Amino acid sequence: MTSDEQLRILRVHPSQIAERALVVGEPKRAAAAAELLENAAEVGSYREYVTYTGHYKGKRVTVASHGVGGAGASVAFHELFEAGVTTVIRAGTCGAAISGLIVATGAVRADGTSDKLVPLAYPAVADYRVVHALHEAASANGYPDPLTGIVLTKSFLYPGIIESDMDMWFEKAGVVAVEMELATLLVMAGIRGVRAGGIFASDEGLGAQKEKESGYDPFHKGLQESTQAMLPIAFDALVALE
């Protein structure tokens, strides 16, 4: 692909994409993140995919929204990698048993997408340099020692008639959070040699309690505050990586 060819879905020219990218689910969160950049410009918008590029602490950075779920998010990830992104951090919200910020070391591949790209034996692992950079940035921003561990990436939000397995994942398998896109990102990044990781904002009560799928409230004050704190941490980690 040349810099003159527009990415098919993101509707962005590769030359408008930085090597460092922050990805978020919600277009409004992408806009909020872009407000932290210098000289930020919206370079693409189509459906749930909105893309901005600017500078953070002197380094060129792209922010892109990817929507909900692994299948749709994989479209954004594929095109970002195609455009030359070499380091990517997902900054998202999650369900967890604690409030605050969570750094992922890896993800359970229940996303419903990554198993169509590479066998399930392939792990969804965050790059150790990204994990370290996120810890350093969190500490520098007043959040020392954030909860760290494996998150569950699942393919649905609301439960159906199949009994929930959340107790198994949280209480027996040691999963620290649940979200919907990280495993897809980590697997796609892994098979392309891209450095990737994730940081998540959580609010107490969204976690291992019973039927938390139906208890998620994206407008909860505590969750909104954690999300605002998460963005500069993610950017600091992103630009710290050489």
Q: Return d(Cα 194, Cα 187) in angstroms, integer.
A: 10
Q: Return d(Cα 65, Cα 86) in angstroms, integer.
A: 17
Q: Return d(Cα 114, Cα 71) in angstroms, integer.
A: 8
- Residue 12 DSSP code: -
DSSP per residue, 160-207: -SSPP-HHIIIIIS---EEESSHHHHHHHHHTTT-EEEEEEEE-TTSS
Active site (catalytic) residues: 203
Instruction: Report the candidate in 94, 32, 22 with the shortest Cα–Cα distance to residue 241.
Output: 22
Element (H, E) at 240: helix 221-240
Do the Cβ atoms of 111 and 70 come closer than 8 Å?
yes
- Residue 16 DSSP code: G
Do the Cβ atoms of 141 and 219 come closer than 8 Å?
no
Burial (CB < 10 A; 0-12, 13-18, 19+), residue 187, is buried
State CA 149 to chain mean position distance. Answer: 15
Q: Return d(Cα 34, Cα 231) in angstroms, integer.
A: 10
